[in-house]
Amino acid sequence: MPVFDNISVEKKDASLRMQRSKRNGIVNNRLNKLLSVILPVLAALLLGFLMAHEQLVGLGIVGLLVGVATLLICILNAEAGLYIVLIYSFFISFFNRLLFDDLLAVGVLSDILIGATFFGFIIRRENIKTSAGELSKTRIGTILLIVYLYTLFEIFNPAGPSINGAVPVIRKIAGILLLLFISYRVFESETKINRFIKVLFFCCILVAVYACIQEWHGFFDFEMDWLRADPRRFRMTFVNGGARRMSFFPDAVSLAIMMSAGSVFFTGVAIIQKNIAKRMFILSGVVVMLLAMGYSLTRTSNVMLAAGLVMFVLITINQKVTRFFAFTALIIFLVLAFFPINGFDQAAQFIETLRGGTKDPSYLVREMNRQSIQPYIYTHPFGGGLSTTGEEGLTYHPGHRLAGFPPDGGYLKKALELGWVGFGLILFLYFTVIRTGIQGYFSDIDLKKKMLFASCTAALFCFYTGDFTQVAIGQITDVVVYYPLIAIILRLSKINQVSQTQ
């Protein structure tokens, strides 16, 4: 009997312990729910009090909390980090002029976000050596490394020896290589590539819509204050009786470059869609992007758009849907060229640019500058050194032959600073990128991937065309699209190789 009594007592004790643990669990759950409500409310009240009485302190605390949370997301999830870098690059200039009077070091913060995302691979102990090896062994990766190694050796160029001038270039190279690697690593499946395209589409739509709001409503008061604060910025914005819209971007040129490349890319993406509703939705977005591009009043974007569409048609001319698209586009072009629509200034500017862009006064001035500086390029095969042209030259190399000279376009800037040797390497890199995209299109058998190859290649060709008259590659708003597009081409090529070997 005592044995059975002990067993019954133990059962009672176990039952009591279970009841206590249940009660404690219920209490803890209720307490956690209560704290999850009370703590945010208290934090909001505290921040509200600080914002009302100590605005700088309140903004500082909010900024610190948001910054720490953002960095943690970048470290923990590389794909989310890539999206954060993209969104930051597209919209930070707007908040910089709205809240910080254009004093925020946006480039440094972008490098921190990219660095944190890459650091996450190390923290999670992911095998990055394999991906780095794959990337460096591709033709594009190999030539890109050669170009950047050559650029680093320019530090020792006797024509422009300035360590200070080389620091921003080195920092930009490091950021670009990390961004390309992160993109290549993230795009390990078609699902993730499609997700990136969706995020990019909605970012471009937001930018385009705000440009339309600026055009239809006019600049807001804080934007006018920002424009008036810099006389040069004001003169560059209001030209020939019109206003060049920049949307969330730092300037109208950045907006024009991104909208033209985005229009070409998403036109190709729309053609891929079998669902008519999705296709019309994407094409509607392209129309808004074209409007935003026109409101930037930048002629270069017109040529970029035409060049990208022609490249897309040439690559995919064997597709029936492309031939229909090309025929429709030709009809629209002829109608606009010979029967101009009154009040549609953007279409008129587009046609005027294609008809006689080489007779434009600004183009003629740039052409004279190019011709006057050509002897310097011929006699300096390794160029004048890093950061020796334009405003950078005045800052880092005062007294240099190139200091203050306006290169205008990216090609001329590269030829002057890196010499015709470095410029030749860069052209070979551009050729290799386009060649890889075209090869991918013709080697793949899946129609969706084929058209994605063509879309990326045509959009990249837009950047190469725009680099002739503007610095179209290298700004904070374009590198976050340019290098991921290259990564998409490389990843699709890798997926294609794997599928063929199976």
Do 314 and 449 belong together in one domain? yes
| Helix axes of 447-466 and 479-501: crossing angle, nearest 10 degrees | 150
What CA–CA distance (Å, rounded) separates 76 from 122?
11
Counting as low any pLDDT under 70, the low residues of the chain are: 1-63, 161-162, 333-363, 498-502
Do 495 and 440 belong together in one domain? yes
> Which pLDDT tens digit goes with each residue over 468-478?
888 899 899 99
Residue 489 pLDDT: 97
Residue 455 pLDDT: 96
What CA–CA distance (Å, rounded) separates 199 from 83?
7
Residue 4 pLDDT: 47
Q: Decide: residue 425, CB within 10 A, 0-12 exposed, 13-18 middle, 19+ buried.
A: buried
Give the total number of structural domains in the chain. Answer: 3
Do 42 and 93 belong together in one domain? no
Q: Is 403 helix (H, G, I), strand (E, B) or coil?
A: strand
Host H or E run for residue 243: strand 242-243
Do 12 and 59 belong together in one domain? no
Is-contact 262 249, C-beta < 8 A?
A: no
Q: Choose one of 124, 150, 166: the last residue of a domain.
A: 124
- Domain holding 495, by residue range, is 127-501
Residue 156 pLDDT: 87
pTM of the model: 0.87
Do 218 and 322 belong together in one domain? yes
Do 69 and 23 belong together in one domain? no
Do 175 and 150 belong together in one domain? yes
Q: Choose one of 80, 96, 124: the last residue of a domain.
A: 124
Is-contact 390 381, C-beta < 8 A?
A: no
Do 215 and 358 belong together in one domain? yes
Do 61 and 11 belong together in one domain? no
Q: Choose one of 102, 124, 146: the last residue of a domain.
A: 124
What CA–CA distance (Å, rounded) separates 263 from 246?
16
For 249, which DSSP code?
Answer: S
> Position 156: which residue type?
F
> Position 309: which residue type?
L
Do 262 and 314 belong together in one domain? yes
Best CA proximity match to 93, nearest among 101, 69, 173: 101
Do 260 and 332 belong together in one domain? yes
Is-contact 96 102, C-beta < 8 A?
A: yes
> Which pLDDT tens digit goes with each residue over 123-169?
988 888 888 999 999 999 999 999 999 999 988 888 876 677 888 89
Do 387 and 343 belong together in one domain? yes
